[in-house]
Amino acid sequence: MKTIEITKAKNSLGKYAKHAEDFPLVITDKGLPVAALLAVPNADLETVTLSTNPQFLALIERSRQRQASEGGISSQEMRRRLGVAHNVRIERNQ
């Protein structure tokens, strides 16, 4: 990880982004972190967007809490309810 004070960050964003593949860059303001630039390997735009969306993260947390307190159903039971065979693969159009 590398840090740089915002007042000293004079290079273009593109130049800093190229180095993000090697190590995260934390931008500070008076020594306090305000932003980070890091690589996101094996992620698409949707994954990055959802992983930083507070509403989506709150939804996931509520679901985890509900699962912990109320339990859930197995994937086998879900397949039975949906009428999906166990060995069926769903292919995505790309």
Q: How many domains does the chain have?
A: 2
Q: Give the C-alpha separation, 88 to 86, whole Å.
A: 6
| Cα 72-73-79 angle, rounded to 5 deg | 150
Q: Do 30 and 52 sit in the same domain of this protein?
A: no
At residue 91, does pLDDT exceed 70?
no
Write down the pTM of the prediction: 0.56
Q: Do 33 and 50 sit in the same domain of this protein?
A: no
Determine the structural domain holding residue 74 and report its residue range.
Answer: 45-82
Specify if 28 maps to a domain.
Answer: yes
- pLDDT score of 42: 87
Specify if 94 maps to a domain.
Answer: no
Specify if 16 maps to a domain.
Answer: yes
| Cα 61-67-70 angle, rounded to 5 deg | 130
Specify if 66 maps to a domain.
Answer: yes
Provide CB contacts within 8 A for 25, sequence distance 6+: 1, 2, 3, 4, 16, 19, 36, 37, 38
pLDDT digits (tens, 9 = 90+) for 40-78: 888 899 999 999 899 999 999 999 999 999 998 888 889
Q: Do 33 and 11 sit in the same domain of this protein?
A: yes
CB–CB of 31/6 below 8 Å?
no
- Give the residue, 52 or 89, on which the prediction is more confident: 52
